[in-house]
Structure 1
Amino acid sequence: MEILDTDHIEMFVGDARQAARQLCATLGFHVYGQGGPETGLAGQRSVLLGQRDIRILLTSGLSGDHRASRYVAQHGDGVAVVGFGCTDVEAAFAEAVAAGAVVVEAPRRFEHDGSTVVTAEVSGFGDVTHRLVQRTTGDGQFLPGAIDMSVAPEAPTDADLLHTIDHAAICLQAGELDPTVQYYERVFGFTMIFQEYIEVGEQGMQSKVVQSPSGGVTFTLIQPDLSRRAGQIDDFLAWHEGAGVQHIAYSTHDIVTAVRTFSARGMEFAETPTSYYDMLEARLGPVDVPVAQLSPLGILVDRDHWGQMYQIFAKSMHIRRTYFSELIDRHGARTFGTSNIPALYAAKERELAAVRDTTDGLRG
């Protein structure tokens, strides 16, 4: 099986048009197309967003028994499908099913005005599935005939600050980590490229990273250590009601400009204590981006054998405080901010503590 890249993600949301407006207003996405009953997508309304090589399909059910409606009722808005670009969907589908994947949708052809896209869908983790996608033409059509490309994708400009999906971070129930790693190795041919145990105060969690042979798809898988104090992973699993995508990391080539731009548009980012920067260069050595630019914005820095990496995590904009976004700017680095993970979870813990305090105050 040859998996090329993350073709797209599909989010099931309560209101696709409202979610589209929010992502366009804050992160600079563009509406590329729409679909619904009039285009053969029975029982749903979908909006396709894009920016450079990123595609996000937002889908809302139009009735309570639609798959998207059931997902939102249980989990809230979130990533429900991660699409894998493939060279041969029918072969990949047959191989995945033979290796133990559950069939969600058999291979299907979308054809319109000379464009052809073949898809199939199989099980992933929790309620998240994987859509295998084979694109035979480079005309920008997403699902020919099903998504009306009302606005043709334009050539990227300097205003388009996000480039690709770097990775997805996934929260799993305790005991699901190793079986999930084995599933992706067996079914999709992924390889585990990194693992670590993370301690944040009295909390603990185990993380393993799996990646496709092409390097185009990367999942960071995390499960809580139940022998330690409950923390934000436990909160996510409780509020999301099961395993799911905690965040999507978008790559940018200028994280300082991106954070400044998105902050000005109303996006809030996790705060980083100023003390983090006091010993930054003593810990990592000289960094490419001046600390004076990083500190006011709260951007984190890490270094590995290949280079440096800059990252920051947005605060969740969802009512359940579950799904959020990450920005990541790689200066050669290939890993995921090992020394920054405790800083992330400490920041998220402060955010969640503030939410708990507010909730307790309302109850009082």
Structure 2
Amino acid sequence: MDVSVTSPDIEKVFPDAEDFLPLNGTDYIELYVSNSKQAAHFYKTAFGFQSLAYAGLSTGSKDCESYVVQQGKIRLVLTSPLKPGTLIGKHIDDHGDGVKSVALWVDDAEKSFQETVKRGAIPYIEPVTQKDEFGETKKSGIKVFGDTTYLFIERKNYQGTFLPGFVKWDSNYNPSPLGLEYVDHMVCNVGWNEMNKWVEFYAKVMGFTQLVSFDDKDISTEYTALMSKVMSNGNGRIKFPVNEPAEGKKKSQVEEYLDFYHGPGIQHIAVATNNIIETVTALQSRGVEFLSVPASYYEDLLDRVGEIDEDLKPIKELGILVDRDDEGYLLQIFTKPIEPRPTLFFEIIQRKGAKSFGKGNFKALFEAIEREQELRGTL
């Protein structure tokens, strides 16, 4: 599938965002993983991603190997080291498999770098131009929380499959896609009392605005609590909820993440579908495991959220959560962690007008996470 190279005409939906970059959307998400070939096979088999591009020894990459998979507008780059003593290997040692970089699609990578750095961002990659027979791309990057980085990708003069240095990856094994369309948001876990620091970073350095705030009264159970603020760029295509731990009787999911990831990072990636019942049914049939909520959650569901288009029976059978705001409702479900460490997981979300993040589901969701923490002995 060819990559779009021209920026869309995007309406600004959050006027409070300064939005000086601007950002067209998520270009790709790069994960550092211990075995990129096996990880690519997993994402294809379990989640329905398709083969897109490859870089490794045969393409001149001597230190690392990357497989790129795509579904809808979602691209994952899965990268592993080819020798000991690399920064990629250290990242995996420190954090386990996890998200290293979020690449943001921009019209001008050099300007994006200059605008963010002059506002206080720490440089990660100085602007660089990469070329091959299909044209050229420009890339730059900044450091954010922990070892995570944001890249700015400019591809308006490029017609290739993915990026220079990659070749098209043709595969005989291509399980069907499962209806995943685009990245809805990515949740960032930061340390104690660091949420407001990073909220200020998004506002000052990247021109984002705050959409919503949740305190420990909104996101708490009998045992644990956390705080969260949601930051978005002006067109709403890039949204980063920022979580920090809050005091509770026991260890919260954010604390567990920070312990096992050894610092701040991206906790989960929310991906959108237009038919969550079909998508989740297919994901479960391919072995993806989801958090479960008690049957009592559904007893008064329609009284809480009002009428919905979907049949309640499969929603209950699949364990899908439903919430409503002033603009509509949403359906969402969360996988169990997909790595050995209880860190990275995915959210599947379908929006039926709602622009919120499922506040009405927080208690049920976090109680479900606590049940898993108790099984792991980390609550």
Give the shorter-chain TM-score range: over 0.9
Amino acid at match of 1:80: K
CA separation in 2, counterparts of 1:280 and 1:26? 30
Q: Does 1:342 align with 2:363?
A: yes
Could you say if the C-alpha distance between residues 223 and 246 of structure 1 is closer, same or farther in structure 2, counting changes exceeding 3 Å?
Answer: same
- 3-state secondary structure, aligned to 2:377: helix
CA separation in 2, counterparts of 1:202 and 1:324? 22
Query: 1:43 corresponds to which residue?
Result: 63
CA separation in 1, counterparts of 2:310 and 2:265? 33
Q: 1:316-345: per-residue Cα shift (whole Å, max 9, x none)?
A: 121112111110001111111011122221
Query: 2:211 corresponds to which residue?
Result: 193
Query: 1:258 corresponds to which residue?
Result: 279
Question: RCO greater where, 1 or 2, for CA within 8 Å and sep 6 or more?
Answer: 2
Between 30-39 and 168-177, the greater mean CA deviation after superposition? 30-39
Amino acid at match of 2:245: P
**What is the Cα deviation at residue 79 of structure 1?**
0.7
Query: 2:3 corresponds to which residue?
Result: none
Query: 2:317 corresponds to which residue?
Result: 296
- 3-state secondary structure, aligned to 1:125: coil
- 3-state secondary structure, aligned to 1:261: helix
Query: 2:45 corresponds to which residue?
Result: 25
CA contact (8 A) 2:32 2:98 kept: yes
Amino acid at match of 1:26: A
Query: 1:184 corresponds to which residue?
Result: 202
Q: Aligned runs of 1:174-323 on 2, under 5 Å?
A: 174-197=192-215, 198-226=219-247, 228-323=249-344
Identity score, percent: 32
Query: 2:136 corresponds to which residue?
Result: 116
CA separation in 1, counterparts of 2:203 and 2:170? 38
CA contact (8 A) 2:24 2:106 kept: yes
**What is the Cα deviation at residue 278 of structure 1?**
0.2
Query: 1:83 corresponds to which residue?
Result: 103
Query: 1:361 corresponds to which residue?
Result: none
Amino acid at match of 1:163: E
- 3-state secondary structure, aligned to 1:121: strand
CA contact (8 A) 2:74 2:181 kept: yes
Could you say if the C-alpha distance between residues 257 and 169 of structure 1 is closer, same or farther in structure 2, counting changes exceeding 3 Å?
Answer: same
**What is the Cα deviation at residue 260 of structure 1?**
0.6
Q: Aligned runs of 1:49-68 on 2, under 5 Å?
A: 49-68=69-88
> TM-score by structure 2 length?
0.89
How many residues were matched structurally?
353
- 3-state secondary structure, aligned to 1:108: strand
CA separation in 2, counterparts of 1:117 and 1:141? 12
CA separation in 1, counterparts of 2:373 and 2:340? 12
CA contact (8 A) 1:52 1:160 kept: no
CA contact (8 A) 1:7 1:133 kept: yes
Query: 2:17 corresponds to which residue?
Result: none
Query: 2:14 corresponds to which residue?
Result: none
Query: 1:69 corresponds to which residue?
Result: 89
CA separation in 2, counterparts of 1:255 and 1:233? 26
- 3-state secondary structure, aligned to 1:70: helix
Q: Does 1:106 align with 2:106?
A: no
CA separation in 2, counterparts of 1:164 and 1:55? 9
Could you say if the C-alpha distance between residues 70 and 158 of structure 1 is closer, same or farther in structure 2, counting changes exceeding 3 Å?
Answer: closer
Query: 143, 149, 164: which is aligned to 2:168?
Result: 149
Amino acid at match of 1:186: K
Query: 28, 31, 35: which is aligned to 1:8?
Result: 28
**What is the Cα deviation at residue 201 of structure 1?**
1.4
Amino acid at match of 1:210: M
**What is the Cα deviation at residue 277 of structure 1?**
0.4
Query: 2:152 corresponds to which residue?
Result: 132
> TM-score by structure 1 length?
0.93
**What is the Cα deviation at residue 158 of structure 1?**
8.3
Q: 1:106-137: per-residue Cα shift (whole Å, max 9, x none)?
A: 11112111322111111111110001001114
Could you say if the C-alpha distance between residues 229 and 204 of structure 1 is closer, same or farther in structure 2, counting changes exceeding 3 Å?
Answer: same
CA contact (8 A) 2:48 2:176 kept: no
**What is the Cα deviation at residue 138 of structure 1?**
6.5
CA separation in 2, counterparts of 1:66 and 1:192? 37
Query: 2:189 corresponds to which residue?
Result: 171
Could you say if the C-alpha distance between residues 118 and 326 of structure 1 is closer, same or farther in structure 2, counting changes exceeding 3 Å?
Answer: same
CA RMSD of aligned residues (A): 1.8
**What is the Cα deviation at residue 40 of structure 1?**
4.1
